[in-house]
Amino acid sequence: METKYAVTVDDLTVAYNYKPVLWDIDLSIPEGVLMAIVGPNGAGKSTLIKSILGIINPIAGSVSVYGKPYDKQRKLVAYVPQKGSVDWDFPTTALDVVMMGTYGSLGWIKRPGSTQKKAALEALEKVGMLPFKGRQISQLSGGQQQRIFLARALVQNASIYFMDEPFQGVDATTEIAIINILKELRKAGKTVVVVHHDLQTVPEYFDWVTFLNVKKIATGPVKEIFNDDNLTKTYGINYKVSVQQ
Amino acid sequence: MSSAQIEIQLIASLVAVACAIPGVFLVLRKMALISDAISHSILPGLVIGFFITHDLNSPLLILMGALSGILTVVLVEYIQKTKLVKEDTAIGLVFPALFSIGVLLIAKNANDVHLDVDAVLLGELAFAPFDRLLINDVDLGPKSVWVIGTILLITLSLLIAFFKELKVSTFDTGLATALGFSPIVLHYGLMSVASVTTVGAFDAVGAILVVALMIAPAATAYLLTNDLKKMLILSIIFGVFSAISGYWVAHWLDASISGSMTTMLGLVFLVVYLFAPNKGLISVVYRNKQQQKEVQLLTFLLHLNNHKEESERHINHLNEHINWHKVKAKSVVELAEKNNMIVIDNQIISLTEKGKVFTEKAIDYIITNDDSKIESMKKDFFLFRG
């Protein structure tokens, strides 16, 4: 059986001020995988996600989502940005932030109504944040803010989820809660792509991995390619001692 | 009140509302300084528009002014993108340059018209009622009312139509892009509204007050609410209140109207800054003090909860082991006793049932941050209000 690809990236090159951040990336993400993108700081992990989502314009290359350009397939894709990318002092509540996930399906001008509110409340329930729906977002802990972001992605009811460091600055309970939700998404046939920092947890959490350091080093099943060789190639130092398989 | 007085207040209020709306988004986008830049750099556009039309009331003036406002934003962003200087420096470079071009243009070519630098900076609201809109000799009221009224109507329609888009792109640009709401279009839309409003308002109130009317009401409202819609409504209320009360202060002092309005905006901010229930200075100081006391109380109760042996619960022990100053120890014991959380029997302190329940709930809350079980305690203890 031929593998179906959720996302295909061809010859993608991104540069900031003429300095390449991503160089000639070819990447195919099979449908239904839970994939980690790993690599050192400055490897272009977030940039890769942002380029796929059209937030950054590449200087070369193309991206397709289920065979079509991203801007035709927006509704199939949900995005969880880095928690630090927004101002949490913004005057709004947890519920309202989750409702923002429904804006994409509404399109311009149309306003969210009771259907959207119901969906948002369900997503809050799923991440265990229903009791906090009315809280001002700055009054939430870091882990709770991350859960709100996750709920906002869930409410988009997408087929592909891109998450930029969802485990950064969250406590162990939240980390487990989040990974359980991600595993559920995979069980439901969704594709989940996560920028991830903690190499120790890669084999436990993910079934697919991409090594990235400006260039793509390797991509494939964790069982086959998550090894010292690729880690060393990606991070430039010998990982034999630090990662226990 | 004479009809001129009513008209002045009407113009001032319309200007206040028209400025407050874009102002809220400028403040939330941390772009307050941009409004200052726009308000000054519309000048060359206005002057050039005046040279073309020789009419101070031509709509072309508004268009040209707004265009040079947008040019400011473009230039600031361009300079900033070179990464040679930061945004505030870029703003400081662009608008004085554009403004001074306007000043030179006036000095060289338009010395004898009403368009002088004083009027640009401070406006002259008192004269606004004299400039009437006449159609077929029918007096339709001051022109300013129509100009700023039209601008306000457009601003309001745009706000209502694009409220959700403005909200999401202000809060999370990345998500807005991914969802297909072009933040660049929204950004320049907002900048255009801010520029047009500035031009429309500046003739009446001057460049300096325009900035104050955009930023001060929004900054004041921000201290009072956690809801974007309420923030917009409060900004409008503060703007209109300062405009009208400022007018009467000017009347009473026989001083500049725009100066008095700006002073009122500052005063309103000061009052709210001091007395706002949550973010206000007095409430913050009071709350910090209370929280400090409550943390001490909790530490004390926790200690009692952890130690069954009497030696650890002797009243003098607080000073020796927990190492608190005597006065503080005394006030904590008194607080706990007053709240019936402890009983003192022969200098030995024991937790009451209430004290035990309180301690456990408090610890549970601090660990989980789940506030469903402590609703009843929120009223009495700052610690639990998040």
Same domain, residue pair B226 and B332 = no
Query: CA B362 to CA B65: how far, in whole Å?
Result: 59
Nearest to A90 among B161, B171, B180 (CB): B171
CB-CB neighbors (< 8 A) of A139 in chain B = 386
| Amino acid in position B35 | S
B132 with B139: CB under 8 angstroms?
yes
| Amino acid in position B296 | Q
Same domain, residue pair B212 and B251 = yes
**pLDDT for position B370:** 64
Same domain, residue pair B312 and B186 = no
Query: CA B25 to CA B32: how far, in whole Å?
Result: 9
Same domain, residue pair B127 and B166 = yes
Site from B82, B160, B168, B226 to mutate, A interface, most A CB atoms within 10 angstroms: B226
Query: CA A112 to CA B179: how far, in whole Å?
Result: 15
Distance from the Cα of B375 to chain A's closest Cα (Å) equals 12
**pLDDT for position B331:** 78
Query: CA A58 to CA B187: how far, in whole Å?
Result: 22
Same domain, residue pair B96 and B229 = yes
Residues 322-381 of B with CB under 8 A from A: 369-372
What's the angle, vertex CA B174, arms to CA B172 and CA B177, rounded to 5?
110
**pLDDT for position A245:** 45
**pLDDT for position B156:** 96
Interchain contact A9–B (C-beta under 8 A): no
ipTM: 0.89
Residues of chain A with pLDDT under 70: 1-2, 238-245
Q: What's domain A5-235's superfamily in CATH?
A: P-loop containing nucleotide triphosphate hydrolases (3.40.50.300)
Split into its structural domains, chain B has a count of 2
| Global pTM value | 0.86
Give the structural domain span for B30: 3-277
Interchain contact A172–B (C-beta under 8 A): no
Residues of chain B with pLDDT under 70: 110-120, 318-323, 325-327, 369-386
Same domain, residue pair B164 and B302 = no
Nearest to A139 among B171, B227, B386 (CB): B386
**CATH code of B304's domain:** 1.10.10.10
Closest CA to A69 of A134, A4, A10: A10
Nearest to B175 among A81, A111, A140 (CB): A81
Same domain, residue pair B171 and B100 = yes
Same domain, residue pair B182 and B69 = yes
Query: CA B277 to CA B292: how far, in whole Å?
Result: 19
* Domain stop point among B224, B259, B277: B277
**CATH code of B90's domain:** 1.10.3470.10
CB-CB neighbors (< 8 A) of A74 in chain B = 178-180
**pLDDT for position A241:** 47
B369 with A141: CB under 8 angstroms?
yes
Interchain contact A106–B (C-beta under 8 A): yes
Same domain, residue pair B68 and B54 = yes
**pLDDT for position B362:** 79
